[in-house]
Amino acid sequence: MEAYLGIGSNLGDRWAHLRTALAGLVVLDAGVVVSPVYETAPVGGPASQGPHLNCVARIDTELSPRELLGIAQRLEAEAGRVREERWGPRTLDVDILLYEGFTSDDPELTVPHPRMYERAFVLAPLEDLAASLVPGDWHTRVAVDRDSLRRVGVLLGPFTTVAAGRARHGDSGGPASGPGC
């Protein structure tokens, strides 16, 4: 099944947290495809927290939605995620945005992710991966501060990276690298 994950970090070595999360998905699933990485101003939470790095990954998975949530939460725990306040700073956040053929309004697993269509930090990288999944008018519907949402690089690794509107293969086998463009 095809699933889309929103991945973010605004604490510690943000690039390393994204790379480690992607590596954790690669060992589980064939066919990981990753959007460019955006640096985004925090939405909600304490004003003092730093900017996020955000990207979206598409995976082709045999895992059920609940199993995938368990994996997402394990990756967050391995990144040392501490939950102190809602929308507070986090080393790693991995959210299930969409899962093929599955919807749920269970608070423990709501799919599609309940706030994804309001958020430029989700919609911009999702549009890079799959424009058909994003409302065509989101640029006008979502309050986007252009200065707070900018592409800052790509992750290279044993997965396919979408950059500048086209997919290309990263370095096979090696660790993903930091800012690439």
Active site residues: 81, 90, 93, 95
Interface with Mg ion in residues 24-53 (CB under 5 A): none
Is residue 95 near Mg ion by the rule CB under 5 A? yes
Binding track over 32-61 against ligand A4P, x by CB under 6 A: --------xxxxxx------x-x-------
What is residue 161's three-state secondary structure?
A: strand
Interface with ligand A4P in residues 119-158 (CB under 6 A): 121
**Amino acid letter, residue 101:** G
Residue 104 corresponds to which tokens in the numbers above?
A: 């749920």
Task: Report the residue from 29, 93, 127, 128 that binds Mg ion according to the rule CB under 5 A.
Answer: 93
Task: Report the residue from 108, 137, 145, 147 that binds ligand A4P according to the rule CB under 6 A.
Answer: 108
Is residue 56 near Mg ion by the rule CB under 5 A? no
Q: Do residues 8 and 121 lie in contact, with contact meaning Cβ atoms separated by under 8 Å?
A: yes
In whole angstroms, the minimum distance from the beta carbon of 174 to ligand A4P comes to: 26
Q: Do residues 155 and 128 lie in contact, with contact meaning Cβ atoms separated by under 8 Å?
A: no
140 sits in which H/E element: helix 138-141
In our burial notation (b when 16+ CB lie closer than 10 A, e otherwise), range 47-69 reads eebebbbbbbbbbebebebeebb
Among the residue ranges 35-43, 55-63, 93-101, 121-129, the one whose residues contact Mg ion (CB under 5 A): 93-101
Nearer Cβ to ligand A4P (93/127): 93
